[in-house]
Structure 1
């Protein structure tokens, strides 16, 4: 049976996974670089970074929000290109720790194409809602032909794959899995009801869930910090959008405003089984198969 796959190459320029990485796809002109901020001044000899391209500056801001700035850069009078533009123009952005640079191996994109890509990536990142997009102004999309747009949309599709292979889910909406009756979970306390579900990214508490308003005397400090972090997502005691947590217990403590064991307090709506019982049954099924 033929496999409909893709070959992506990740080249570790510094022989370290935490160093500079070049990503590419077999038979495609797109090139993606991951550059740690501390190594940005070691890249002047990389020819592809002397071309035009789009850049992402990523990190965590002072409020512990995963943040991203998306911009573009062209070839400059000093012979440098997109990386130089990113570093020099945004020294005031103190949160960024890594840059993603997107360019081509044949320098085939001009200002119009780069503007289109900048606009599309910016809007895709906003839609994904994994990062706080810090652009003050939405990039101009430019005026391109239908034929060129088709080419660029294909370019975007495999650039997303390369970036995802590098470990970044910038454009994938958080926890967008079906909320079916069979796997939807509920936790209740003091008349409050919250609904959630495990996802590939962690544990999602759904929009509309009710959360306890008063913390317990023994409420852990990290729970209080989480409530403060997400206070803009709570209105009249209900979540106004989905929130992703690292684990069922982190989600449960947030909802209950107190210490809680997520494996015990989250229960399946359809039959009342706890999350711990559900997962134990799944483990036994795997072991006995």
Structure 2
């Protein structure tokens, strides 16, 4: 269960878009965010000589997801310098090291493997690594260390704007501290039956939702048609009989973009997405805010 935590972010050069150092005040894990343009500055730091796990962050992949490469090294600075020469896609690196310099190569190998597996499961990013490989042998006490390190690192990465391991949907927390199912919304039309959830990041349409294959005449040749075609190209929508089927949970930037994807026409998502009782998303979310004022 999420709990309150205090996170400290230090700006070595005073630039919020430059190098940033994040840590939870009671933990020994530190995450250093390094813009590629400032890699030379990072290599001068003692942390660059440590054992570490790193994440190379890049632009969107063909699937429309941000790209990431996950690796580890006994000397993380040297490995980043190598990637600076032979990997083009990345523009920022996030490096996980120990404040006490206590990470071993065994820790790093397990953390790399586990991070790749968890990032693949979350499905938010396009991994440049390929498959996860087999789990490296790690004694049980070190595995316990690694899980705690990973939990801390995941929180710090998300705080720095890279929620690599965060699921697109999460159970809501009820007032009594128990988890409650999310509030579901439905979008229905000819050969279309979308199910999704309104989140803090946008609107998530769930895997196995169905969408209309044909676009209405009014959006043909428009950006909306190209948008739907890209979803097919990216493998988000897959033809199945007379319908498209969502192959995975997919986050849209707005309810309207989600509705367009499902219905194959222009749509106001605030009115198209409705609860099981027929209340619109607008009534359930936007009007509720107005009434609260």
TM-score between both structures, scaled by the size of structure 1: 0.87
Match of 1:263 in 2: 270
Q: In the TM superposition, what is the alpha-carbon distance from 1:170 to its structure 2 partner? A: 0.7
1:66 aligns with 2:72: no
**Partner of 1:54: helix, strand, or coil?**
strand
Unmatched tracts of structure 2, length 5 or more: 173-179
Structure 2 counterpart of 1:87: 81
Match of 1:275 among 246, 268, 281: 281
Q: Give the match's secondary structure for 2:210.
A: coil
1:50 Cα deviation from its structure 2 partner = 1.7
Q: Find the counterpart in structure 2 of residue 221 from structure 1.
A: 223
Q: Are the aligned partners of 1:115 and 1:139 in contact in 2 as well (CA < 8 Å)?
A: no
Please say if residues 252 and 261 of structure 1, whose CA atoms lie closer than 8 Å, have aligned partners that are also in contact.
yes
Q: Distance in 2 between matches of 1:279 and 1:217?
A: 32
Matches within 5 A, 1:28-39: 28-39=27-38
For 1:136-151, what aligned pairs fall within 5 Å after superposition? 136-138=130-132, 141-151=135-145
Structure 2 Cα separation of the partners of residues 185 and 174 of structure 1: 16
Does the aligned pair in 1 maintain the 2:171–2:182 contact within 8 Å? Answer: no
Task: Check 1:224–1:176 CA distance in 2 against 1; reply closer, same or farther (3 A cut).
Answer: farther
Indicate whether 1:205 and 2:237 are aligned: no
Deviations 1:55-103, CA, capped at 9 Å, x for gaps: 10112245232111101112xxxxxx30330231364432212111011
Question: 1:105-144 counterparts in 2 under 5 A?
Answer: 105-138=99-132, 141-144=135-138
| 1:265, distance to aligned residue in structure 2 (A) | 1.3
How large is the Cα RMSD of the aligned pairs? Answer: 2.3
Q: What is the alpha-carbon distance in structure 2 between the residues aligned to residue 249 and residue 109 of structure 1?
A: 47
Measure, in 1, the Cα distance between the counterparts of 2:6 and 2:280: 41
Rate the CA distance shift 1:151–1:280 in 2: closer, same or farther, 3 A.
Answer: closer
1:138: Cα distance to partner?
2.5
Q: Structure 2 CA distance, aligned partners of 1:23 and 1:164?
A: 11
**Aligned CA distance change for structure 1 residues 119 and 213 (closer, same or farther; 3 Å):** same
TM-aligned CA distance change 1:48 to 1:264, over 3 Å: same
Distance 1:145 1:226, change over 3 A: same
Q: Please give the alpha-carbon distance, in whole angstroms, between the structure 2 residues aligned to 1:27 and 1:199.
A: 30
CA spacing shift, 1:140–1:42, aligned 2, 3 Å: farther
State the partner residue of 1:241.
Answer: 248
- Separation (CA, whole Å) in 1 of partners of 2:26 and 2:188: 53
Alpha-carbon shift at residue 191 of structure 1 (Å): 4.4
Q: Report the Cα distance in structure 1 between the residues aligned to 2:183 and 2:201, rounded to whole angstroms.
A: 16
Contact preservation (8 Å) 1:175, 1:200: no
Aligned length: 276
Q: Which residue of the other structure, out of 80, 92, 95, is the alignment partner of 1:98?
A: 92
Contact 1:30 1:104 in 2 (8 A): yes
Runs of 5+ in structure 1 lacking a partner?
75-80
Say whether residues 1:157 and 2:151 are aligned partners.
Answer: yes
* Counterpart residue number, 1:77: none
- The runs of at least 4 aligned residues of structure 1 exceeding 6 Å deviation read none
Residue 229 of structure 1 aligns to a residue in which SS?
helix
